[in-house]
Amino acid sequence: MIRIQRLDAFATDAFPDPGLALGDPNGLLAFGGDLSPQRLVAAYRRGIFPWYSDGDPLLWWSPDPRCVFATDAIHVSHSLARFLHHCGWSWSMDRAFEEVVRACAEPRAGQDGTWITEDMRTAYTNLHLLGHAHSLEIWDGGALIGGIYGVAVGRMFSGESMFSRRSNASKTALVTLGRVLREYRFPWLDAQVPNPHLLSLGARTLPRGRFLTELARLARQPGPEAWPRPIRPVTAPT
């Protein structure tokens, strides 16, 4: 019988080979450990991420296939391009990280609870303070209406969650983040698990082995020394 591994409470950089992850449920690799910054960074460098609900043990995943966006191939429909040209919104990075995470954790229609627990919010805020986690915010005047957050290791960015308080706000966040990542020479935006919505926006799936090979290469490359912070107008792709 295949069993998932319990993580050592003290070996914060020790994870099993992602190739040992279960096929059902897809990608379940290990349980236990903690959400310390050291463990989280070690996990993301290996293509592993935490995902669990309140009351469950801390679970670690590396699914096969992996869902990714090529940062130069995020789909922008003609209607969305027209909308972006006239919306009058603006965007920023890392100006409201905690607010974005809290908004992503808010209840959504058709969902029971959230996987973004209080412990997860604290853990990713700590990662942000250490310069590993980043948010992109969409603003309508002074109102935060959409956003996305995730973790950067080298030149791979793993998106964790996004939210929208206005129609098209989360799509605008995704498209804008893709443009920023492309400018900073990030070829991939890791979306982790495929779903029809992500695939409709241009995401594709990669076999886990290929994803891990690309990740190992990109994680060794130095990331940006600084991320853009001034609030800038949203623009349509050219």
Residue-level pLDDT at 111: 57
pLDDT digits (tens, 9 = 90+) for 191-228: 999 999 999 999 999 999 999 999 999 999 999 988 98
pLDDT digits (tens, 9 = 90+) for 36-56: 999 999 999 999 999 998 778
Q: What is the CATH number of the domain that holds 45?
A: 3.30.70.3550
Predicted model pTM: 0.94
In a domain, 182, yes or no: yes
With 90 as the cut, is the pLDDT of residue 230 above it? no
pLDDT digits (tens, 9 = 90+) for 3-22: 788 998 778 888 999 999 99
- pLDDT tier for residue 1 given thresholds of 50, 70 and 90: very low
* Same domain for 72 and 56: no
* Same domain for 185 and 93: yes
* Same domain for 111 and 147: yes
With 80 as the cut, is the pLDDT of residue 172 above it? yes
Residue-level pLDDT at 125: 97
* Same domain for 212 and 95: yes
* Same domain for 75 and 58: no
pLDDT digits (tens, 9 = 90+) for 114-164: 789 999 999 999 999 999 999 999 999 999 999 999 999 999 999 999 999
Residue-level pLDDT at 183: 95
* Same domain for 102 and 21: no
With 90 as the cut, is the pLDDT of residue 67 above it? yes
* Same domain for 123 and 44: no
Mean pLDDT, rounded, for 92-117: 85
In a domain, 144, yes or no: yes
Mean confidence (pLDDT) of the chain: 93
pLDDT digits (tens, 9 = 90+) for 74-87: 999 999 999 999 99
Q: What is the CATH number of the domain that holds 204?
A: 3.40.630.70
In a domain, 238, yes or no: no
- pLDDT tier for residue 112 given thresholds of 50, 70 and 90: low
Domain count, the chain: 2
* Same domain for 156 and 97: yes
* Same domain for 219 and 177: yes
In a domain, 142, yes or no: yes
In a domain, 40, yes or no: yes
Range of the domain at 188: 67-233
- pLDDT tier for residue 2 given thresholds of 50, 70 and 90: low
Using CA atoms, how far apart are residues 230 and 92, in angstroms rounded to an integer? 6
